[in-house]
Structure 1
Amino acid sequence: MGLLGKWIESLDYQFEILPTCTRHKSPRSTCQRCFDVCKEAAISIDHNIPIISPKKCIECGKCMAACPVQAIAGIFPKRTVVNNTLVMTSADFPTVKELLLLYKNGVRGIISENPERLEDGKEVIDLANSMLEQLGEEPFTVSTDPFEKAEKVYSRRELFSVWHQESQSLMKQAVPAKWRFNHTQLDLAKYYPDFQFATLSVDTKKCTLCKTCEFLCEKNCLTISETGFTINAQSCSACQLCVDSCPEQAIIIEEKVSQVFDVHYPIYQKICPVCGQPYATLREDDQKCVACTKQEGFLSPVYI
């Protein structure tokens, strides 16, 4: 294939699932949000790994919006926005996440001449407006008024400016597709730094401080030091990987909007009287280390 052929081929693209997918990171992951939202059945799960079928995928972007860790790479479909208003020209209604991102980029209204189209999206709009209220923002306005895009008369200087902008846009489209991938823009936490969209807590009666959750969390929401177990959920996207991977099932995640706050659990450093080794625990009244406690439990009559 010549250089021109390779260049043209690079302009095309297919959605792909990256190694940052929680199912790639741990066989315990149960996340299947991309699978659940794909109406084309283009995503299957084989040996715990999600796979996208290029033949079935219509590149609607629903899986990209649904993925909590932005692990589906591609080019998110463009929306028609005029005068800070989202113009619904198709039946493909945006997701709640997409509406919140559009709002952060200045969109304040939603309009469609087809009332049925807005009625189909009513649940999504209501949920988005409910979240906006919790974020201290005004809700979207919704209208079915006829929409006419007004023609504009350009001066000569403005005309050259428009041509310049259009040529820049054309050049952006003429670069390899992977350079234009925008899946990382779908992280809500980056746009609302004073809020968190999930609340994490730890059952201190179960946690053994094994650090599995801390190791697997790429958002760095969980930090275990010698003195404490600290949770900062501002960047948490509720991917559930820490919940699925915790051997003691000690982590709880609740998806809800709230102002950012840290949770801190003190850690106690002790010496085990059985094995004589130092150990850390979240329970002030613990008398033995985890290993000795579990060994004793295994040998007790309850387990025989």
Structure 2
Amino acid sequence: MGLLDKWIESLDYEFRILDSCSRYQSPHSTCRNCIDSCSADAITFVSGKPIINNKECTECGDCIAECPVQAVEGFLPRRTIIQNQLIVTDEHPPSIKELLAFYKKGVTILVYDQEELNLHWKHILSEVNSMLEQLNEAPFSILNKEIEREEELFTRREIFSFWKKEAQSTMKQMAPAKWRFNHQDLDLAKFYPNYQFTEIMLDTSKCTICKACQILCKRDCLQINEMDFTITTQNCSGCMICQDICPEKAITTEKKIQPATKNTHPLYTKICYTCKNNYQTLSMHDKKCVKCKKMEAFGTFLK
């Protein structure tokens, strides 16, 4: 890390939850990934929305890595990488998402110089290697060897010259996405375009084509037109907003690694037996429109 970079990151900067959080988008959201990932208990719900207590926050970056919609603004911890080898340190280990991203950037070897890996590292490696197997990739290689770390020594003149060059380089990249957090860094869909990490299932007998799921999905995984309802799951982040928002509980999601799929469900145009109006449905056996069905159910309830 450059000297100016270190100075920038030493400034008083607080992690925070952005409005793109699914719980800010809908009160029906059940996502709690940031809270479940925080070992310091620094995140709590206030009126149903996650809030970070910065006095308790250790800035480990776990919440950033686990947020499916990249709604946590902050710094991912710097990792030591030498010649495309990730150095194992006593610091908080990378998340599974970080390791999967590193892997696709060519960092496929882990090096440690202790007697053995600690239990936390072993657990993370076991999980990530299991996922790599499902992604048809080789596991991380692990090397136990002495790590050579070069110390940088500067004269006073060299330090001022170095700072000048660092300043010129860094100022060109001062846009927030460049020096704070780039949400695309942990977008696994971009690193593994032939696979999906979530499965979205639709119960066509329950869906009323209200389009609430399509409106709230920021990844365009659900598309409804005049002809069909198409689900493209490869780009899904697993935020579950489609499942949470569906009033008919017609959508379910499941974390699952598998080859990317695209499912298309045809729409049928019919005439309602009760009101005689045209309506669209995903079930070819439907005989009544949604409005008439609900009125009938309400009448039965009153009886």
Q: TM-score range by the shorter chain?
A: 0.7 to 0.9
Report the CA distance shift for 1:208/1:74 in structure 2 as closer, same or farther (over 3 A). Answer: same
Distance (whole Å) between structure 2 residues aligned to residue 169 and residue 90 of structure 1: 31
| 1:279 aligns to 2:279 (yes or no) | yes
Report the CA distance shift for 1:13/1:173 in structure 2 as closer, same or farther (over 3 A). Answer: farther
Unaligned runs of 5+ in 1: 1-6, 153-159
- What's the counterpart of residue 67 of structure 1? 67
| Structure 1 residue 123: Cα displacement | 2.0
Match of 1:293, SS state, is: helix
Match of 1:79, SS state, is: coil
- What's the counterpart of residue 230 of structure 2? 230
Q: Which amino acid aligns with 1:119?
A: L
- What's the counterpart of residue 172 of structure 1? 170
TM-score, with structure 1 as normaliser: 0.86
- What's the counterpart of residue 156 of structure 1? none
- What's the counterpart of residue 252 of structure 1? 252
Report the CA distance shift for 1:235/1:110 in structure 2 as closer, same or farther (over 3 A). Answer: same
| Structure 1 residue 30: Cα displacement | 0.9
Match of 2:287, SS state, is: coil
| Structure 1 residue 277: Cα displacement | 2.2
Match of 2:279, SS state, is: strand
Distance (whole Å) between structure 2 residues aligned to residue 46 and residue 14 of structure 1: 18
Calculate the aligned-residue CA RMSD, in Å.
2.8
Report the CA distance shift for 1:201/1:165 in structure 2 as closer, same or farther (over 3 A). Answer: farther
Aligned residue runs from structure 1 range 1-304, under 5 A: 12-115=12-115, 117-149=117-149, 167-168=165-166, 171-172=169-170, 178=176, 179-184=178-183, 185-300=185-300, 304=303
Unaligned runs of 5+ in 2: 1-6, 153-157
| Structure 1 residue 132: Cα displacement | 1.4
Identity of aligned residues (%): 43
| Structure 1 residue 120: Cα displacement | 2.3
Contact 1:10 1:176 in 2 (8 A): no
Q: Answer with 125-134 or 204-213: which moved more.
A: 125-134
Match of 2:253, SS state, is: strand
Number of aligned residues: 288
Contact 1:85 1:111 in 2 (8 A): yes
Distance (whole Å) between structure 2 residues aligned to residue 168 and residue 259 of structure 1: 43
| Structure 1 residue 90: Cα displacement | 2.0
Distance (whole Å) between structure 2 residues aligned to residue 250 and residue 166 of structure 1: 59
Contact 1:203 1:250 in 2 (8 A): yes
| Structure 1 residue 13: Cα displacement | 2.0
Match of 2:30, SS state, is: coil
Q: Answer with 24-33 or 175-184: which moved more.
A: 175-184
Distance (whole Å) between structure 2 residues aligned to residue 221 and residue 234 of structure 1: 8
| Structure 1 residue 119: Cα displacement | 3.2
| Structure 1 residue 88: Cα displacement | 1.4
Distance (whole Å) between structure 1 residues aligned to residue 100 and residue 8 of structure 2: 35
| Structure 1 residue 148: Cα displacement | 2.3
Report the CA distance shift for 1:165/1:124 in structure 2 as closer, same or farther (over 3 A). Answer: farther
